């Protein structure tokens, strides 16, 4: 990287070189009162009647600023991964250390080189109006780039846009994108796909709902328990339904009325057994959620979950 100042015409006053880490600013062949400052990308700034002392001071300041930027940012030949990490550094942390505009630039450069995590973050920004105006169209475009490459997080986030009203309702498009992610046992994709199948092909719904239920999504646990209680798409099993309603209730989901409905169908001994089994199931579900780490943001337990923030996304693939 370099910057030069050329001055014209006569007489020649001298030459100065100011160097930083990987960049330089130069006053070369200094003449008279006309100066051209050549910038790094070939642009230039022209001026007349310059004060050479002020110009030198400005160039020193420019060189120092560039040195700081280069020291804090990725190397000049940064990989997409390094650009993404630089974006995350600028996006996160204490307020005085964040720079959203710089973060977006790094994310975009990384995403333009095909890095799926950066593409998903850009999709999230437009999806949630975080640091940019909301744009479902732009969100879908960035999610789709990553989804086309097989990124399971991008797939369920894209499928979700066709269900939550951000894009025109399109159940077939939603199913298209949710299915590959759900087939990789992504709990959010499995839940949304199971929820969709309840109205399209209920025989397929319990399979997907159970995948999500066993990974700790209470909204999926509730729908799976309902399917068991009603025998909808699966053999009726009131005992197992009672177990899952208990797990759902303990997770904070309203299931008291469903348990009250099932009470007459079970003996007191069966109810006690169901409570013990629910505790065991909660232990395994809790361990699964903790091990995976994809939890802990507002809206994750909604009927249509919100997108995980960038700081959580690495746990959600």
**Domain range annotation of the chain:** 3-72, 185-317
Task: Classify 125 as helix, strand or coil.
Answer: helix
So what's the pLDDT on residue 3? 43
Residues near 290 by Cβ (< 8 Å), separated by ≥ 6? Answer: none
Do residues 34 and 7 make contact, with C-beta atoms less than 8 angstroms apart?
A: yes
The bridge status of strand 44-48 relative to strand 34-38 is antiparallel
Task: Classify 38 as helix, strand or coil.
Answer: strand
Residue 156, judged by CB atoms within 10 A of its CB (0-12, 13-18, 19+), counts as buried
pLDDT tens per residue, the chain (317 residues)?
434 444 444 333 333 333 333 344 444 444 444 454 444 444 445 555 555 555 545 554 544 444 444 445 788 899 999 999 999 999 999 999 999 999 999 999 999 999 999 999 999 999 999 999 999 999 999 999 999 999 999 999 999 999 999 999 999 999 999 999 999 999 999 999 999 999 999 999 999 999 999 999 999 999 999 999 999 999 999 999 999 999 999 999 999 999 999 999 999 999 999 999 999 999 888 777 777 789 999 999 999 999 999 999 999 98
So what's the pLDDT on residue 19? 37
> Of 234, 162, 151, 230, whose CA–CA distance to 196 is shortest?
162
Distance CA 17, CA 143 (A): 47
> Of 150, 288, 305, whose CA–CA distance to 210 is shortest?
288
So what's the pLDDT on residue 50? 53
Distance CA 66, CA 39 (A): 12
Tokens of 75: 């190397």
So what's the pLDDT on residue 274? 98
Distance CA 234, CA 18 (A): 76
So what's the pLDDT on residue 27? 42
What angle do the packed helices 116-128 and 100-112 form, to 10 degrees?
Answer: 130
Do residues 199 and 174 make contact, with C-beta atoms less than 8 angstroms apart?
A: no
How far is Cα of residue 33 from the mean position of the Cα atoms in its chain? 53
So what's the pLDDT on residue 51? 58
So what's the pLDDT on residue 64? 47
So what's the pLDDT on residue 54? 58
Region label for 89, one of left (φ > 0), alpha (ψ between -120 and 50) or beta (otherwise) = alpha
0.85 exceeded by the pTM? Answer: no
Distance CA 100, CA 218 (A): 34
Do residues 191 and 209 make contact, with C-beta atoms less than 8 angstroms apart?
A: yes
So what's the pLDDT on residue 308? 97
Residues near 237 by Cβ (< 8 Å), separated by ≥ 6? Answer: 228
So what's the pLDDT on residue 70? 42
Apex 312 CA angle, 224 and 182, nearest 5: 35
């Amino acid at each position: 990287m370099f910057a030069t100042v050329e001055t014209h015409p006569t007489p020649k006053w001298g030459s100065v070189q100011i160097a930083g880490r990987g960049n330089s600013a130069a006053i070369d062949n200094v003449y008279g009162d006309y100066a051209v400052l050549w910038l790094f990308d070939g642009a230039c700034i022209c001026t007349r009647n310059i004060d050479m002392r002020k110009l030198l001071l400005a160039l020193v300041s420019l060189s120092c600023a560039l040195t700081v930027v280069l020291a804090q940012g990725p190397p000049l030949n940064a990989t997409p991964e390094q650009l993404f990490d630089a974006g995350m550094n600028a996006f996160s942390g204490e307020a005085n250390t964040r720079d959203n505009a710089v973060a977006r630039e790094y994310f975009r450069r990384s995403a333009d080189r095909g890095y799926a995590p950066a593409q998903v973050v850009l999709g999230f920004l437009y999806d949630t109006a975080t640091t940019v105006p909301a744009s479902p169209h732009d969100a879908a475009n960035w999610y789709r780039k990553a989804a086309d490459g097989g990124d399971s997080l991008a797939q369920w986030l894209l499928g979700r846009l066709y269900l939550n009203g951000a894009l025109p309702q399109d159940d077939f498009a939603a199913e298209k994108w949710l299915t590959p992610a759900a087939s990789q046992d992504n709990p959010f994709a499995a839940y949304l796909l199971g929820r969709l199948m309840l109205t399209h092909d209920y025989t397929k719904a319990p399979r997907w709902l159970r995948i999500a239920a066993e990974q700790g999504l209470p909204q999926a646990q509730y729908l799976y328990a309902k399917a068991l209680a009603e025998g909808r798409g699966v053999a009726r099993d009131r005992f197992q339904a009672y177990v899952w309603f208990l797990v759902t209730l303990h997770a904070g989901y309203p299931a008291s009325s469903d348990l009250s409905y099932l009470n007459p169908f079970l003996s007191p001994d069966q109810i006690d057994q169901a409570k013990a089994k629910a505790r065991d199931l909660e232990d395994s579900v809790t361990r699964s959620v903790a091990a995976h780490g994809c939890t802990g943001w507002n809206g994750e337990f909604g009927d249509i979950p919100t997108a995980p923030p960038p700081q959580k996304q690495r746990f959600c693939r």
